[in-house]
């Protein structure tokens, strides 16, 4: 894969103009911002997962930030009193190591060395169809979070509008993102193939791939946090087990995360224009009902039924 300029789409890859005029390149059936293609290449070329690595995979806007906090908290058994998000992987923006609780800035880009015995948490939006070989090259564990496509789309729409409004651009019409989303031409899309890639693996190898929906986690966080801890090999134990779980869930709630100073005052270093606070909006299930027309809902439901073929993750199809 030859990539010359990470910000240029003048490459040999097929390209499409997505909603809002964003130009995306296609690679192995998925659509990427040119700079994420470069990051993906670096991951594929250089990242060799260690057996202890924990990789959080997700389509954008499906609960990544929430799961990052939960994974950190479960693995380190620490409540996140001073949440600090560190994105040291400027060079590999699609597979960033997330450190919560450490110093914010100036960590050099690096993958942990082979001598590291503690688990490292990585987060990626790269689809299984592209990252699978890398993930399967070690005993690392993979957590995938999926979210209802309509809420995902609305979250993405708000997010992109909030970024670009910072640059004084008009909010983009909802119709345009609905069309691009259904066609698959959004960043890291098609959404449907993204979800199905990881979901299939989780059915075949549940000991390696943990699949959860945002909605399941919302409806019963304590149960699923316990399942997550068991999957990671660090189950909650002891008489105060329920209190421990409760504390993890509380410290990772959107309400708690929103209160941290860093999440109000900093921008995500690898995305320069993105303030952390744009990662925390409502965090509600079903928010799409406040925005999408019946026709839009039918359009998205129809493609979801067609693509998911009987896999009914949200009891809707
Ligand atoms: N702790 C917690 N609990 C529940 N929900 C949360 C939490 N943190 C973030 N959010 C909501 O997740 C949406 C952002 O998704 P991601 O974190 O996947 O975004 S990103 O891909 O990392 O940019 C976005 O959803 P919407 O509110 O629907 O836009 C966030 O508000």
CATH number of the domain encompassing residue 55:
3.40.50.300
113 lies in some domain: yes
Is the confidence at residue 97, as pLDDT, over 70?
no
Collapsing DSSP to helix, strand or coil, 24 comes out as strand
11 lies in some domain: no
pLDDT for residue 126: 93
Instruction: Name residues whose C-beta falls within 8 Å of residue 80's C-beta, 6 or more positions apart in sequence.
Output: 69, 72, 73, 100, 101, 251, 252, 256, 257, 260
Q: Is the CB of 282 under 6 A from ligand 1?
A: yes
Positive/negative CA dihedral, 220, 146, 134, 205: positive
Nearest CA residue ID for atom 6, ligand 1 = 283
pLDDT for residue 269: 60
Helix (H) or strand (E) holding 290: none
Number of domains in the chain: 1
314 lies in some domain: no
Whether the CB-CB separation of 9 and 67 falls below 8 Å is answered with no
What's the gap in Å between 282 CA and the centre of ligand 1? 8
Q: Is the CB of 123 under 6 A from ligand 1?
A: no
Q: Is the CB of 156 under 6 A from ligand 1?
A: no
- Kindly state the average pLDDT of the residues 213-218: 98
- Kindly state the average pLDDT of the residues 13-33: 92
249 lies in some domain: yes
Q: Which of 87, 89, 125, 288 is catalytic?
A: 125
pLDDT digits over 33-55, tens only?
888 888 888 888 888 888 988 99
- Kindly state the average pLDDT of the residues 131-157: 96
Is the confidence at residue 165, as pLDDT, over 90?
no
Taking the mean position of all CA atoms in its chain, how far away is CA 111? 19
Is the confidence at residue 71, as pLDDT, over 70?
yes
Instruction: Name residues whose C-beta falls within 8 Å of residue 106's C-beta, 6 or more positions apart in sequence.
Output: none
Q: How far is Cα 18 from Cα 68, in angstroms, rounded to an integer?
A: 28
Q: How confident is the model at residue 157 (pLDDT cuts 50, 70, 90)?
A: very high
Q: Is the CB of 62 under 6 A from ligand 1?
A: yes
46 in active site:
no
pLDDT for residue 12: 86
**For residue 238, what are its two tokens?**
């002891």
170 lies in some domain: yes
Range of the domain at 271: 50-308
What's the gap in Å between 240 CA and the centre of ligand 1? 29
Helix (H) or strand (E) holding 178: helix 174-183
54 lies in some domain: yes
Q: How far is Cα 271 from Cα 37, in angstroms, rounded to an integer?
A: 15
Q: How far is Cα 274 from Cα 63, in angstroms, rounded to an integer?
A: 17
What's the gap in Å between 221 CA and the centre of ligand 1? 15
64 lies in some domain: yes
Q: How confident is the model at residue 316 (pLDDT cuts 50, 70, 90)?
A: confident
174 lies in some domain: yes
Please name every residue paired with 209 in a beta bridge, in sequence order, or none if there are none: 142
**To the nearest whole percent, how much of the chain has pLDDT over 70?**
78
């Amino acid at each position: 894969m030859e990539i010359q300029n990470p910000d240029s789409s003048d490459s040999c890859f097929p390209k499409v103009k997505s909603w809002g005029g964003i130009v995306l390149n296609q690679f192995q059936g998925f659509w990427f911002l040119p700079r994420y293609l470069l990051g993906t290449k670096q991951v594929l070329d250089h990242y060799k997962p260690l057996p202890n690595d924990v990789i959080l995979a997700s389509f954008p806007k499906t609960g990544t930030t929430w799961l990052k906090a939960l994974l950190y908290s479960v693995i380190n058994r620490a409540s996140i009193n001073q949440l600090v998000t560190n994105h040291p992987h400027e060079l590999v923006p699609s597979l960033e190591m997330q450190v919560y609780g450490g110093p914010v800035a100036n960590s050099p880009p690096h993958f942990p060395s082979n001598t590291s015995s503690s688990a490292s948490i990585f987060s990626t939006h790269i689809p299984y169809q592209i990252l699978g070989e890398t993930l399967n090259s070690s005993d690392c564990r993979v957590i995938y979070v999926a979210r209802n496509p309509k809420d995902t789309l609305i979250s993405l729409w708000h997010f992109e509008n909030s970024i670009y409004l910072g640059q004084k651009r008009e909010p983009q019409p909802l119709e345009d993102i609905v069309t691009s989303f259904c066609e698959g031409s959004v960043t890291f899309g098609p959404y449907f193939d993204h979800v199905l890639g990881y979901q299939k693996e989780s059915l075949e190898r549940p000991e390696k791939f943990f699949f959860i929906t945002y909605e399941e986690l919302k409806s019963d966080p304590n149960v699923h946090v316990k399942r997550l801890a068991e999957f990671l090999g660090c189950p909650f134990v002891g008489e105060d087990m329920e209190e421990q779980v409760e504390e993890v869930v509380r410290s990772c709630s959107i309400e708690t995360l929103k209160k941290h100073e860093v999440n109000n005052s900093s921008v995500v270093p690898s995305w320069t224009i993105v303030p952390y606070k744009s990662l925390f909006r409502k965090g509600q299930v079903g928010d799409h009902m406040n925005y999408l027309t019946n026709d839009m809902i039918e359009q998205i439901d129809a493609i979801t039924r067609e693509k998911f073929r009987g896999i009914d993750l949200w009891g809707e199809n």
